[in-house]
Amino acid sequence: MTIKGKAYIAGIYEHPTRHAPDKSTAQLHAEVAKGAIEDAGLTKDDIDGYFLAGDGPGGLWPMVDYLGLNTKKLRHVDSTETGGCSYLIHLGHAAEAIAAGKCSVALVTLAGKPRTGVMPPRAAGAEVDFEAAYGATTHNAYGMCAMRHMHDYGTTSEQLAWIKVAASHHAQYNPHAMLKEVVTVEDVLNSPMIADPLHRMDCCVVTDGGGAMIVTTAEIAKSLKKPLVRLIGHGEAMKGPRGGKDLDLTYSAGVWSGPRAFEEAGVTPKDIKYASIYDSFTITVLMQLEDLGFCKKGEGGKFVADGNLISGVGKLPFNTDGGGLCSNHPVNRGGMTKILEAVRQLRGEAHPKVQVPNCDLAIAHGTGGLLGVRHAASTCILERV
Amino acid sequence: MTEAKKYNAPVTNPESAPFWEAAKQGKFLIKRCTACGEPHYFPRSICPFCFSDKTAWEEASGEATVYTYSIMRKSPTGPYAIAYVTLKEGPSLQTNIVDCDFDKIGIGQKVKLVWKPTDGAPLPFFTAV
């Protein structure tokens, strides 16, 4: 069985806020749900599937009740939690549920307020006594990946900086972007060192906010007014140090999720017109581009340099909303916004300055957790019908 | 000079207790599977490679080399060096490189085990040799 072409993204919404001290987290979930339902042209009572990751206060029971979802109708729920890529996995799982007839209109929400200082707690794993004291954070866990990548492949800080430069070129056209200023390679290199070799401008923004999408059947999508965008391939994977054998931090679980998605979709990286690539840090983008097959392992630095990721300039336009590096990284989780900008591109609704002409095939890919420690990856291939 | 940093005591559990008891004696233990022969760290009762339950404690040399590292510059308790080091016995593990200048730290640098006290069992760290 395949999910190819079985599920359509009929509604999308990205909350315009980047700082929401005046709102509750549950409220933000409700606002993005409302936005996505209205974008699709549906109503709340049409929802019969709900997908919620660890950012939902209290989990599924409280959120289903708070939102007032129709519990006579709601027949499929999924609380898969894989950090920032949860929403890419939710999209794949929603397609599976739709293909199996378990639901027909699935809602996926993400929201939270890390910038205001509210973050959901994270439960300890079996490794806690053997790792907690060493202070692994997002910054230094990704820093360790970058350090080894530079050692093994000669990747440079200048090459990493080009990723931020490309994101900033796109963010200048996004009125909601947190950072709208176009920056140069020198700006990135001159920004303070946070966790060697990553500078402040190698890091994504911290924002309050959220996003949501509606995933539905072909029949329902075709009855609505939005351009048709469907999922044609999905992959998911996990990676960790696994007892410390053959440790290699220069690749991500994307080496497994990517080929699974491309195989299901029946397309190759060369066919992709637009790429949403998770950008918690510049190194995240570089490693994932290699892992997904956009270039050979170790050649990511050369691939991203000289504006190759800038829409209208380079060969692979990426994160045309400004991405997590410049626009939005709600709840420190960038998977939802990766899907939303891919859908905008496929609908032809991206900003005219960054819209990819005839964009009919896109990828949205992300990681969740800590790339240098334990993480998940998910790849979605999307097509305009 | 860096101030002595205070570390939380390990919580420990029935599976990891022998490791922490040995740590109190200054012994650094890893696990080796007697079925497939593979060593691993952190220690599990069931081998993460062949899934045999025939795993045995083994004292490691405490000698290692740096696989990768990052100096965390922004920290309320001051800068610190996180790293993965690869033990002479094979497994790589997450740690901090302590008690040496940051410019001594590099990929391939030889390091050795040092213990840092807590209110319970001490914790394993590494320093440049």
Residue A223 contacts residue A342 (beta carbons within 8 Å): no
Distance CA A202, CA A194 (A): 9
Token pair 């911290």: residue: A206
Check if the beta carbon of residue A76 is closer than 8 Å to that of residue A102.
Answer: yes
Least Cα distance to A108 among A81, A148, A138, A128 occurs for A81
DSSP calls for A291-311:
HHTSS-TT-HHHHHGGGTTST
Give the chain A residue whose CA is nearest to the CA of B86.
A244
Interface test with B, best of A128, A150, A247, A283 (most B CBs within 10 A): A247
The whole model's pTM is what?
Answer: 0.97
Residue A128 at interface with chain B, using a CB cutoff of 8 Å: yes
State the pLDDT at residue A190: 98
Query: Residue A357: its pLDDT value, please?
Result: 98
Q: Which of B20, B82, B93 has the CB atom closest to A244's CB atom?
A: B93
Do B94 and A196 count as a contact with CB atoms less than 8 A apart? no
Q: Are A102 and A49 in contact (CB under 8 A)?
A: yes
What CATH number has the domain bearing residue B55? 2.40.50.840
Among all chains, which residue has been given the structure tokens 């979709």?
Answer: A265
Residues B68 and A54: their CA atoms lie apart, in Å, by 30
CB atoms B93 and A147 under 8 Å:
no
Alpha-carbon gap, residue A199 to A192, rounded angstroms: 6
Radius of gyration (Cα) for chain A, nearest Å?
A: 19
| Predicted complex: ipTM over 0.90 | yes
Q: In what order do the strands lie in the sheet with A274-277?
A: A76-78, A49-52, A105-112, A209-216, A7-14, A229-239, A375-384, A361-369, A274-277
Is residue B3 a part of any domain in this protein?
Answer: no
pLDDT at B1: 42
Residue of chain B whose alpha carbon sits nearest to that of A242: B48
DSSP string over A188-217: HHHSPEEETTEEGGGBPP-B-EEEEEEEE-
- Tokens for A314? 């380079």
Amino acid at A190: N
Nearest to A138 by CA among A279, A27, A337, A35: A279
Q: Do B92 and A244 lie within an 8 Å CB cutoff?
A: yes
Whether A248 has its CB under 8 Å from any CB of chain B: the answer is: no
> In B, which residues are within 8 Å of A139 by CB distance?
70, 72, 74
User: Would you call A245 and B94 a contact, using CB atoms and an 8 Å cutoff?
Assistant: no
Q: Could you give the CA distance from residue A332 to residue B1 in angstroms, rounded to a whole number?
A: 34
* pLDDT on residue A11: 98
Looking at the partner chain, which of B8, B49, B70 has a beta carbon nearest the beta carbon of A196?
B70
The secondary structure element, H or E, covering residue A221 is helix A218-223
Instruction: For chain A, 385 residues long, give each residue's pLDDT as a single digit of tens.
Output: 899 999 999 999 999 999 999 999 999 999 999 999 999 999 999 999 999 999 999 999 999 999 999 999 999 999 999 999 999 999 999 999 999 999 999 999 999 999 998 777 677 899 999 999 999 999 999 999 999 999 999 999 999 999 999 999 999 999 999 999 999 999 999 999 999 999 999 999 999 999 999 999 999 999 999 999 999 999 999 999 999 999 999 999 999 999 999 999 999 999 999 999 999 999 999 999 999 999 999 999 999 999 999 999 999 999 999 999 999 999 999 999 999 999 999 999 999 999 999 999 999 999 999 999 999 999 999 999 9
Gap from A291 CA to chain B (nearest CA, Å): 20
pLDDT at residue B28 greater than cutoff 70: yes
Q: d(Cα B94, Cα A26) in Å, to the nearest integer?
A: 36
The domain tally of chain B equals: 1
Contact check, Cβ <8 Å, B48/A132? no
Nearest CB to A245 within list B84, B91, B94: B91
Confirm whether B9 is domain-assigned. no
Mean pLDDT of chain B: 95
Per CB-CB distance under 8 Å, the chain A contacts of B69 are: 144, 147, 196
Chain B residues contacting A via beta carbons under 8 Å: 7-8, 10-13, 16, 20, 38, 40-42, 44, 48-49, 67-75, 80, 82-84, 86-87, 90-96, 107, 123
Cα–Cα distance for residue pair A212/A32, rounded to 1 Å: 5
A152–chain B Cβ distance below 8 A for any pair? no
**What is the rounded CA–CA span in Å between residue A235 and residue A256?**
8
Residues of chain A contacting residue B78, judged by C-beta atoms under 8 Å apart: none
The tokens of A122 are what?
Answer: 């994270």
Question: CB A126: neighbour CB atoms within 10 A?
Answer: 11
> Would you say residue B8 lies in a domain?
no
Is A247 within 8 Å of chain B by CB? yes
C-alpha–C-alpha distance, residues A25 and B119, integer Å: 38
The answer to the question of residue B110 being in a domain is yes
Give per-residue pLDDT as tens, A36-57.
999 999 999 999 999 999 999 9
Phi, psi angles (nearest 5°) of residue A110: -140, 135
* B22 in any annotated domain: yes
Domains observed in chain A: 7-115+208-231 (3.40.47.10), 135-205+232-384 (3.40.47.10)
Are B82 and A247 within 8 A, CB to CB? no
Q: Which domain holds residue B24?
A: 17-128
Instruction: Tell me A159's DSSP state.
Output: H
Residue A48's Cβ-side half-sphere holds a number of Cα atoms within 13 Å equal to 14
Contacts of B67 in chain A (CB under 8 A): 148, 247, 249
Q: Do B74 and A195 touch (CB under 8 A)?
A: yes
CA separation for the pair B57, B41 (Å, rounded)? 11
CB pairs under 8 A between A and B: 118
Q: Residue B1 falls within a domain, yes or no?
A: no
> What region does A100 belong to: left with phi over 0, alpha with psi -120 to 50, or beta?
alpha
Cα–Cα distance for residue pair A236/A248, rounded to 1 Å: 19
Confidence band for B16, pLDDT divided at 50, 70 and 90: very high
Distance from CA of A170 to the nearest CA of B (A): 28
Q: How high is the pLDDT of residue B3? A: 58
- CA dist A282 → A65, A279, A343 (Å): 39, 6, 23
